[in-house]
A and B are shown apart, each in its own frame.
Chain A
Amino acid sequence: MKKYVGLLLIVLLLATGVSMAQDVVLEFQQWWEPELPEGSFRAILDDFEAANPGIKVETISGPYLTTKDQIIASAATGTMADVVGLDGAWVNVLWKQGALHSLSQAMADADYDDSELAAQIQLAGETYMIPIANFIYPVFVNLDLLEAAGIDPPTTRAEFAAAAMALTDPDNNVYGWAQPLSLEQPNGIQNDTMSWLWASGGSMLDDMGQPHLAGNEALAETLEFLKGLHDAGVVAPGAFSMKENEKVEEFVNGRVAMIINTLAHFTLIRERNPDLNFDITALPAAEGYDGPRGLPYASWGIGISSNTEHKAEAWKLIDFLTSVDGNSKLTSIANAFPGNVNATPDFIQTDPLFMTAFEIFQEGFLANEFTGLPAAEELMRQFDEPFQFYLEGEMELDEFLEIAQEEWEDIFS
């Protein structure tokens, strides 16, 4: 009896030893799992594991707001996960820290053909992040409010201002537009401020990719337009501490008629308020501009840790998530536009609103100049602070742009 038990133990030990020797466990740190329907992200990874025997993926999921800090801290202490989810606003700092492995290298090692990738985020000539899901930011309009006022969705800035004016009714707590400018999450500078500039073909950088704020005619016009909206009282109150999520809640409650907002919110808005009659439209352009509209967007990007011992396996995971099949599945559950040009998430064919969005997407171009910039979040914040002074009327436009220019140059150098 004892003999058999002993034998069994040895066999068991051998078995586990063998399987441990075979299985590579990839740690995958991201904030996506909690954002997606329960279990759906795991299901995609299970597909990957089934297709790649010997590789297991272990997810390390955290809240979005702290993911960047956590990755920086783990990179500094050598505990970074093998594969990480990345945001365009923080890829630069991790690259600078030496925490990211060159994906150009990984692609070369794997003889990968990158022609299907919609975009690659490059720093110093090499790719460090591949966006695998993109969320564009069109204008959401409350059709009921627009119809009551007898106006059509605006297509130019002047029309937008006039519409916002007509829609604003403070006695009933309805405002034309909302601009979140919280300094905690200053992404309102990207999504709700600079987006106006990009939509009209403008740029906040010069040809060398350096800050171009002071003396930037197109930017000055944009900001004057925005101040005009604030001065006219058509912007929802509380702008200076408002965050993205509160902007949406105001819209969902019918208190704000128009917002610039991510497509990621489609399902949410429908769930929160099934009665809300809303549509989307491209961001209005400056008068006389008829070029393609820049569309602000945010991405779920992916990268590989420079410390990982499993670079080849890590690349296999990225390969899978950017493949037609894997990417279609992921973007379908995330309601995102694909990172693979041939992938087709199912909602594009089934949902009329997404079809509109897809048209906007095809007619315009993805524009987010903050992606890959050094300390992008800090750039937004340093712009936000004097912007608030300007909106409050305590600073002239020129002075505000001078200050912002100086702060930005500081960060760039």
Chain B
Amino acid sequence: MVTSAQSQVAETPNVRWEQRKRKLLPYGYLSPTLILLAALTIVPIVTVFLYSLVDNVIVNPNPPEFVGLDNYEEVLTHRKFRGALSNTIYFSLVSVVAHFFIGLSFALMLNSRLLGANVKAVFRVIYILPWVFTASIIAILWRLLLNPHGVVNFVLLELGLVEELQEFLSDRRLALNAVTFINIWSGYPFYLVSFLAGLQGIPDDLYEAGRVDGGNAWQLFLNITLPQLKPIIISLALLDFIWTIHQFTLIWMTTGGGPMRSTEVLSTYTYKAAFSSHEYSIASTIAMVILGICTFVAIFYVRSQRMVDE
């Protein structure tokens, strides 16, 4: 009431003030975020960028030497980099798609009206189980499970599904799929929880209208649920893609990038460059390449956001 009373007696400067306030307001709301990110990320990211342009950093006694884009040329033309890149793309794409399907299916099941509230509560907790463990424990657990003398092999042998012990993590034909599977298992709850939240935001009357128009369950899903979830789906897929590219602990502690580089991804490759061969410039260069890839994908996201806004 106060504001409307004020606006009735508003004079020109006040209106201008209101306009300016409206312009500045979003920055005010964003200020905690921006201050934090500026304070804590600008310096490290710029440092990493500068590292990528020089030679001899951190563990080298010689003074840094500006080499321009030489590091980039070295990284991008390296045979091992290309292998790691293609493994990363496979690992990330399969993970993101599987996360999406599993997360959405579970969320839809848990949202069904055919189940009682308590049943849902129990299954919700069961379904987020993979999420409550730190990555190194997940790696260790799956190493136990997939060990040649582990329980997975035992069950498969007993059921007659395989004829001999499988070396899931040390057979180059199986290892990449095995680590991808582990990543799928450990990552889908993030989608599940986001979709559960997203599904609550879809108004019931949309479904009622759809039903009046004679749509069956599948049509309702295609025409209402999916489009309504679209902003969330795009955001999740983008972030998940970025995180999967960065997924390090899981792969490192299960296969270390092996056997025979079959699970070497950009994150393990970067780690080795930084902490094994101690070439921080090269590691920083790979980091910048990854930043480039992610930014490229993020531009699509920002565009889609704008469409949603309009």
Contact = CB atoms under 8 A, between A and B. Distances in A.
Q: Do A and B bind each other?
A: yes
A377 B59 contact: no
Nearest to A185: B256
Interface string B247-281: 00000111111111100000000001001111000
Interface size class for chain A? 35 or more
A250 B147 CA distance: 11
Contacts of A239: 170
A378 B260 contact: no
B260 A76 contact: no
Contacts of B167: 237-238, 240-241
A68 B275 contact: yes
A173 B157 CA distance: 13
Nearest to A387: B260
B261 A241 contact: no
Interface string B69-110: 000000000000000000000000000000000000000000
Interface string A226-237: 000000000011
Contacts of B147: 238, 246
Which among B60, B148, B253 has the highest number of chain A CB atoms within 10 Å? B148
B169 interface: yes
Given A98-B61, A183-B256, A241 B169 contact: yes
Chain A CB within 10 Å, residue with most, of B149, B172, B175, B276: B276
A72 interface: yes
Interface residues of B, number: 30
B58 interface: yes
Question: Looking at A184, A377, A378, which has the most chain B CB atoms within 10 Å of its CB?
Answer: A184
A226 to B, nearest CB: 16
Interface in A57-71: 68-69
A193 to B, nearest CB: 15
A96 B60 contact: yes
A241 B276 contact: no
Contact of B276 (A237, A242, A375, A392): A375
Given A237-B165, A378-B272, A96 B59 contact: yes
Contacts of A385: 258, 260-261
B114 to A, nearest CB: 44
A388 interface: yes
A93 B59 contact: yes
A377 B148 contact: no
Interface in A155-204: 173, 181-186
A255 interface: yes
A97 interface: yes
A390 B252 CA distance: 23
B170 to A, nearest CB: 4
B52 to A, nearest CB: 17
Interface string B172-195: 100100000000000000000000
A69 B253 CA distance: 16
A362 to B, nearest CB: 35
A76 B149 contact: no
A184 B136 CA distance: 13
A93 B277 CA distance: 9
Contacts of A388: 258-260
A266 interface: no
A329 interface: no
Contact of A238 (B60, B170, B172): B170
Interface in B129-152: 143, 147-149
Contacts of A377: 276
A103 to B, nearest CB: 18
Interface in A220-264: 236-242, 246, 250, 255
A381 interface: yes
Given A173-B149, A237-B167, A378 B256 contact: no
A62 to B, nearest CB: 14
A394 B61 CA distance: 40
Listed residue (A241, A246, A250) with the most chain B CB atoms within 10 angstroms of its CB: A241
A176 B267 CA distance: 36
A237 B148 contact: yes
A318 interface: no
Contact of A241 (B58, B60, B175, B275): B175
Contacts of A69: 275
Nearest to B169: A241
A411 interface: yes
A379 to B, nearest CB: 9
Contacts of B272: 378, 381
A289 interface: no
A185 B139 CA distance: 14
Interface of A: 68-69, 72, 76, 93, 96-98, 173, 181-186, 236-242, 246, 250, 255, 375, 377-378, 381, 384-385, 388-389, 392, 394, 411
- Pick the 8 closest A-B CB pairs, nearest first: A184-B256, A240-B259, A183-B256, A240-B170, A183-B258, A237-B148, A241-B170, A241-B169
26 contacts: A72-B58, A97-B59, A181-B259, A182-B256, A183-B257, A183-B258, A183-B259, A184-B255, A185-B256, A186-B256, A237-B148, A237-B149, A237-B165, A237-B167, A238-B147, A238-B169, A238-B170, A241-B170, A246-B143, A378-B278, A384-B258, A385-B260, A385-B261, A388-B260, A392-B172, A411-B277
Given A182-B255, A241-B259, 4 more contacts: A184-B255, A246-B147, A388-B260, A389-B260
